């Protein structure tokens, strides 16, 4: 195993971001995971779907699954069937449990290619992939497609209850940990 690797991410109109990672294999895996997520942008939204492109459809959970499986971060699996509205009516953290079963570990600060999970409803039920320090790729029902969103957008970082905005809870998971554990 090499001692550290540096990964640069170029963004239009901004300086390159530099990410310090454990090794070259991690840098490559994270870059592939992010690149795969970006290929899904523009795919229509539909619950429990996982077909890429304008004639396909995907939801946030299957976007994470397809990106992780298709880049070799985790072995092939299919979590369906699942209730796409579980997080609204139930309290059991199925999304979080799903990530932990895959070997992802919760972290305090996200890095390139980590998974972010927000509480929408009673429990955590919306996931995205961090593609740079300010943006994520996620399949979002209200947008009707897979999109790139800024982390400071109100939809992701706050929830309005009785006319008052509250911070929306978010948790971070390192999927690279699943590959290291394998």
Walk me through the domains of the chain, giving residue ranges and CATH numbers. Answer: 5-181 (3.90.1720.10)
What stretches in the chain show pLDDT beneath 70?
A: 1-4, 10-13, 86-91, 178-182
pTM of the model: 0.89
Determine which helix (DSSP H) or strand (DSSP E) holds 37, and give its type and residue range.
helix 24-39
Tens-place pLDDT, residues 4-37: 677 777 666 677 888 888 888 898 999 999 999 9
* Rg of the chain taking only CA atoms, in angstroms: 16
Q: Which of 73, 13, 86, 1 is nearest to 37 (CA)?
A: 73
């Amino acid at each position: 195993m090499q001692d550290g690797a540096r990964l640069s991410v170029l963004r239009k109109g901004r300086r390159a971001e530099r990410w310090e990672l454990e090794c070259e294999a991690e840098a490559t895996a994270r870059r592939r995971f992010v690149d795969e997520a970006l290929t899904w942008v523009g795919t229509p939204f539909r619950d429990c779907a996982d077909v890429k492109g304008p004639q396909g459809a995907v939801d946030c959970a299957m976007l994470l699954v397809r990106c992780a499986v298709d880049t070799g971060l985790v072995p092939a699996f299919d979590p369906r069937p699942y209730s796409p509205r579980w997080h609204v009516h139930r309290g059991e953290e199925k999304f979080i449990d799903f990530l932990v079963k895959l070997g992802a570990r919760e972290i305090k600060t996200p890095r390139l290619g980590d998974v972010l999970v927000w509480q929408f409803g009673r429990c955590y039920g919306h996931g995205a992939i961090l593609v740079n320090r300010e943006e994520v790729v996620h399949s979002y029902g209200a947008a009707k497609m897979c999109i790139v969103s800024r982390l400071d957008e109100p939809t992701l970082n706050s929830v309005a209850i009785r006319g008052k905005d509250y911070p929306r809870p978010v948790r971070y998971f390192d999927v690279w940990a699943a590959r290291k554990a394998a």
